[in-house]
Structure 1
Amino acid sequence: MPLLAAHVLLRGGPPLLAGALFLGCGGDTLLQVGGGTVFLLGMGSFAAGHVCYLLLFARHGSPGGARTYRLAALYAAAWLTVVVLLWPGLDGELRVPVAFYSLLLTAMALGATRARLLSGAGGALFLLSDTLLASGLAEWPQAPAPQFWVMLTYIAAQWLLTQGVLLCHGGHHVCTEEEAGRSPAGPSTRRGSGQSRTAARASTMPKP
């Protein structure tokens, strides 16, 4: 993520976006160190990054409408379902922090739908990535190479969120509902590079 954050700064992107990416990098580093309190600090770093994204989407996103309310109901139902299913398998000290973190993550993903289509897709992938990670913490059966899928969805999520914000920020205007649902017509922006999240998240996966 540091390279992607540097890409944002070199393009003159919003500092909040670079901050969200650096906080994600900090979260990765803390997850790599170990569990317990350090894991909670890593979760807190990611949560702070989601707050940065929420502020960005409040600034650049379109006004809420019927579409936003429908998506809010859908995302709220998804959050509640995942928390209820994960709750029994999580360690006692992780249950409440995971519930609050996932609520903030869901709010960020919903906010992303108010900006570009790329951002909405990035928010949804971030939800998927952290749900895959949480399923490992709850000791659910895992698909082959779970760390690969967590890493892939996470990096794709950060890249999509970044490109969506840069597209809105580049025009210095609020994205309308029509623009939010339309793919950009111009040339693609350069792809930033992301550091692998495999090692950081693999350390949190339960051992067989």
Structure 2
Amino acid sequence: MSHSRLVLGAFGLAVAVDLGSLAAGFDAGHAVAKPLLMPLLALWAVLRRAPRPLVAALLFGWGGDVLLLSDAESAFLAGMGCFAAGHLCYLVLFWTHGSRYAVPRARAGLLALGYATALVTTVALLWPDLPADLRLPVAGYSLLLTAMAYRAAIRLGLFTGLGGALFLLSDTLIATGVADWPQPPVPDFWIMLTYIAAQVLLAGGTIEALNARRAPAATYGEMRAV
């Protein structure tokens, strides 16, 4: 645990440097801190016995983070591909380690309707303003992202569900920037804030949920040993 806390402290420092640099307009600080975020979070997850798909998802996020430091369209597409691969890893994670009874069926149905409505509305509104060669990739990526957010909510509980929703919000902010919509002040700060929170909630929520399931088994084992 001491090693995991040390890594978590380093991650917190990198987050503070990254967000502080974005708020202050210090691009060099962001360029240094951003590539450190997901490897540190992945290392923390490994130390906490995280499943391999979770670690893979975080490392694909690292690849996307590095590629999106460039303004080139080819780097944007490659970065989107990395994040798409990460979402596939999350879907595998939720399928293999999630519980089909994490939320009641009625609530799952309402969530499905809400996410489907958000997906169709967002893509329809963004479509005319996106560059023509990015419309289909963005639509396909949005479908995968929305599926990940929905499955996070219904398979592993509240924290992972919030993480999926924040990931959706963060990437929607990116898409509105690509579509040249009006942006909030310091948009990159809000994009990174919601993205970092999303990955932390997805990783921490998954580990917490799986540890909660292991606890009864450990208790039973201790009782048998006595």
**Same fold (TM > 0.5):** yes
Q: CA deviation at 1:136?
A: 0.4
Helix, strand or coil at the partner of 2:149 = helix
Report the residue type matching 2:144 in the other structure.
Answer: L
Q: CA deviation at 1:30?
A: 1.1
Q: CA deviation at 1:59?
A: 2.0
- Indicate whether 1:96 and 2:133 are aligned: no
Q: Tell me which residue corresponds to 1:25.
A: 62
Q: Tell me which residue corresponds to 2:23.
A: none
Q: Tell me which residue corresponds to 2:204.
A: 163
Report the residue type matching 1:110 in the other structure.
Answer: Y
Cα deviation digits, residues 112-164 of structure 1 (max 9, x gap): 01212100000000010000110000000111111110010000000000011
Structure 1 unaligned residues grouped into runs of 5+: 174-208
Q: 1:146 aligns with which of 181, 187, 195?
A: 187
RMSD over aligned Cα atoms:
1.2
Helix, strand or coil at the partner of 2:68 = helix
Matches of 2:83 and 2:149, distance apart in 1 = 13
Cα deviation digits, residues 157-202 of structure 1 (max 9, x gap): 00000011101222457xxxxxxxxxxxxxxxxxxxxxxxxxxxxx
Matches of 1:39 and 1:121, distance apart in 2 = 25
Structure 2 unaligned residues grouped into runs of 5+: 1-37, 215-226
Q: 1:116 aligns with which of 147, 157, 162?
A: 157
Q: CA deviation at 1:77?
A: 0.5
Q: Tell me which residue corresponds to 1:129.
A: 170
Cα deviation digits, residues 6-53 of structure 1 (max 9, x gap): 001111111111110000010111111332222111100000000111
Identity of aligned residues (%): 57
In the superposition, the TM-score normalised over structure 1's length comes to 0.80
Helix, strand or coil at the partner of 1:79 = helix
1:1-208 matches, within 5 Å, as 1-63=38-100, 65-114=105-154, 115-172=156-213
Helix, strand or coil at the partner of 2:92 = helix
Which fold has the larger relative contact order, with Cα–Cα distance below 8 Å and residues 6 or more apart in sequence?
1
Q: CA deviation at 1:2?
A: 0.6
Report the residue type matching 2:139 in the other structure.
Answer: A
Q: CA deviation at 1:93?
A: 0.8
The count of corresponding residues between Structure 1 and Structure 2 is 173
Matches of 1:150 and 1:19, distance apart in 2 = 22
CA radius of gyration, larger in: 2
More helix by share: 2
Helix, strand or coil at the partner of 2:69 = helix
Helix, strand or coil at the partner of 1:57 = helix
Helix, strand or coil at the partner of 1:32 = coil
Helix, strand or coil at the partner of 1:143 = coil
Identify which range, 25-34 or 83-92, moves more after superposition: 25-34
